[in-house]
Structure 1
Amino acid sequence: MITRKVRKWEKLPGKNTFCCDGRVMMARQKGVFYLTLFLIIGTCSLFFAFECPYLAVHLSPAIPVFAAVLFLFVMAMLLRTSFSDPGVLPRALPDEATFIEMEIEAANGNVPPGQRAPPRIRNVQINSQIVKLKYCYTCKIFRPPRASHCSICDNCVDRFDHHCPWVGNCVGKRNYRYFYMFTLSLSLLTIYIFTFNIVHVAMRSVVSGFLNTLKDTPGTYPFLCLIFLQKDTPLLVCFFTLWSVVGLTGFHTYLISLNQTTNEDIKGSWSGKNRIQNPYSHKNIIKNCCEVLCGPTYPSVLDRRGLMQEDLVALAALPSTNSDTTPQTTKTTAPLIPNEHTPDEAKSIADSAAEKSSSPKEEQPPSAKLPPLASPETDAETSIAKDKPH
């Protein structure tokens, strides 16, 4: 056996992909993430190339500076959300999974054939309210409160909010605040660019007219075409992107004020028929916002870059082992099976048999011969006894 050290991320189950030696963790479907990068970088590039030079000279040089700072902040929050561990929970080890299964079977008892087994749940009390912990058949664990299994990444995520293809990752306990800051800053950046595009066109239209302004500023044309002509498809994308991002930011602001996740809101966990109160809410908007956005940063429990040993079978040594057909004998202190002796014991037995055969008083009758033994040494003993004269 040969052992080699590998990083733990190389052996982690699930459908995540890792880059930079486990420092970057994303989902496998990253096509929409690349589209997000293209839309943000492309829109800002047109703004910096065609509008910012005129606005910096005729209005204020602070306009492109603030836009650049806001753009960098948006990109930082996007990459921080996309490349981080959202709060993936490790799966149970084989011994742990076996122990949990034994506990469940002992608690549920034998289920008669044809009947469905009772649901695997555990009840815990949070803020004087009972919360059910569900069992994950894939990860073999009882999921913590507010955790859920993502079918796309095939992992349980702590405080699971949703899987966002636009950022190429799940949104959970460890990256939710960065996701919210990304949507908030992207909304501000989109409104900022859209507003100064209109200001730029209005200022230049006073001097050269509206049509000449559209010809001189091709970067602005897609933005204003929806307002005046409503025929250009790229502006439709920008327009709906503006309202979708702003609407998404408003929705998550509402959730944060209630200390609630998207998954809980969709399932109606705290607003169903039973009217169960949210045990995680502090009944105060400021406290809820501070807990979600200003709480402590939780470390990852995966230890992606930790070292572990992997056992490899040395296949190159197998042919030499098989070619050696001569068995190796070792001296043992006790027989391996009944009536079996080691070579040294067989030799001593043969000498004693020869001495006994030379004395007529101790001659053994023919019926008292020892039975043949199942070893080459005892066959040699029998042949020596036969050759000795009586």
Structure 2
Amino acid sequence: MASRRVTRKWEVFAGRNRFWCDGRLMTAPHPGVFVLTLALICSTCALHFAFDCPFLAARVSPAVPVAGAALFLFTMSALLRTALSDPGIIPRAAAAEAAALEAGAGAGGGGGGGAGAGEAGRPPPRAREVLVRGRPVKLKYCFTCKMFRPPRASHCSLCDNCVDRFDHHCPWVGNCVGKRNYRYFYTFVVSLSFLAVFVFACAVAHLALEARGAGLGAALRASPASALVAAVCFLSVWSVLGLAGFHTYLASTDQTTNEDIKGSFSTRRGVSNPNPYSRGNACANCWHVLCGPLAPSLIDRRGVFTIDVKDELPASFARVLAPAAASPAPAPVPAPAPAPASAGEGALAGGGSYTNLFEAGDGPGLARHAYANRSLDLDPVPLHGECRGAPGPRIVLQHRIS
């Protein structure tokens, strides 16, 4: 008997990303510029290895092509890791969780006279505020993902996903740059700077040695490929060096490009607004951003969809599982009710979603996010905060920077 086709989660992914190799690799919806980046780097280095390296290996040192190959491989590995991995996408809320959150917002905003029927389904407030190391941080509600975004997260309009510690969407690498691939992006930019300077220096040295006695014109006629490589590297090295310096500044201050552009931690009207995520010095910030524990992926893109989790899908994707609805489905296991958080404990002490931080009450009907954000357990330094402006009783937030 023929077995029913297995539907994997990447096939019904709610965002716009494109998946390759059965969901093992992922890129932005339009990876054309990333292909252009690959073509520029590979073609320039191919000319370098074909024309400059043999000449310099014979006239200068055999270590020249070895150093060039090492830089090229290191740069390409960092680029591919940045472009083909999960940047830190936060899964969208299940339909049951979004409905519970909206119902809670409508009931909490009814005032002293009680909530009317028209208020029960109104959307939640656009933002709520928590304290991180004594500093107020706004958590904005994402109407696409139906959840309150965690601190430093933002929604990418191109990929249509919320990304944790969102830095920016980089078309040159064909992916968002976020919490899970920022270190590889930084490594790519810095190594590309060294590679561009190295290839430019080799091309100029080749032309200079050819020009001895014969003149520059004869050298250009003898090795036009070296002149082309030198021109390409000269035009591109300045922007790459500037980008590497800018991200070095961001890493040393533990900021993102998104936060720097918005001026999230700049002084306004004479009032200082220090960065609550900073470790206190540049070395500690760089170590945390570039060498800290890597957060696990939350989207489980190669997982298998079953009937009992069909309600996690958006309505537009429900038809994908329609053939499977004919077979009997196992009875769903009821989720245990979450334990109420005491005054000295955090709501996420045992894992869970950010949305649960703002659901009032602890009854058995409380919806939980479909994915647990395990990255909260990676940093040994907890940050305690208190939710402001939430309906219902006060809820204590324990958030860990990771």
TM-score range, shorter chain: 0.7 to 0.9
Shift of 1:104: 1.6
Shift of 1:283: 2.1
CA distance in 2, matches of 1:247, 1:14: 32
Match of 2:190 in 1: 184
Question: Which of 241, 247, 258 lines up with 1:246 in the alignment?
Answer: 241
Code of the residue aligned with 2:266 in structure 1: it is S
- The reply to whether residue 10 of structure 1 matches residue 5 of structure 2 is no
CA distance in 2, matches of 1:315, 1:140: 26
Match of 1:297 in 2: 294
CA distance in 1, matches of 2:226, 2:40: 15
CA distance in 2, matches of 1:255, 1:138: 29
Match of 1:45 in 2: 46
Match of 1:312 in 2: 322
Structure 1 residues 272 and 137: alpha-carbon distance in aligned structure 2, compared to 1, 3 A threshold: farther
Match of 2:78 in 1: 77
Shift of 1:5: 2.8
Are 2:87 and 2:179, in contact at CA under 8 Å, matched by a contact in 1? yes
Code of the residue aligned with 1:296 in structure 2: it is P
Structure 1 residues 199 and 17: alpha-carbon distance in aligned structure 2, compared to 1, 3 A threshold: same
Aligned residues: 302
CA distance in 1, matches of 2:277, 2:43: 41
Match of 1:271 in 2: 266
55-64 or 121-130, larger mean C-alpha shift: 121-130
CA distance in 2, matches of 1:177, 1:261: 12
Q: Indicate the structure (1 or 2) with the bigger Cα radius of gyration.
A: 1
Code of the residue aligned with 2:322 in structure 1: it is L
CA distance in 2, matches of 1:90, 1:125: 24
Percentage identity across aligned positions? 56
What's the TM-score, normalizing by structure 2? 0.71
**RMSD between superposed Cα atoms in Å:** 2.3
CA distance in 1, matches of 2:244, 2:89: 24
Shift of 1:48: 0.8
- The reply to whether residue 121 of structure 1 matches residue 127 of structure 2 is yes
CA distance in 2, matches of 1:64, 1:82: 27
- The reply to whether residue 256 of structure 1 matches residue 257 of structure 2 is no
From the two aligned structures, give the one with the greater helix fraction.
Answer: 1
Code of the residue aligned with 1:270 in structure 2: it is F
Are 1:163 and 1:171, in contact at CA under 8 Å, matched by a contact in 2? yes
Shift of 1:119: 4.1
Code of the residue aligned with 1:149 in structure 2: it is H
Shift of 1:208: 3.0
Code of the residue aligned with 2:285 in structure 1: it is N
Q: Could you list the per-position Cα deviations for residues 277-315 of structure 1 after superposition, in whole angstroms to 9, with x for gaps in the alignment? A: 110012200000000011001110111111112643499
Structure 1 residues 313 and 117: alpha-carbon distance in aligned structure 2, compared to 1, 3 A threshold: closer
Match of 1:105 in 2: 106
* Alignment gaps of 5+ in structure 1: 225-234, 317-390
Code of the residue aligned with 1:284 in structure 2: it is N
* Alignment gaps of 5+ in structure 2: 308-320, 327-402
CA distance in 2, matches of 1:195, 1:107: 66
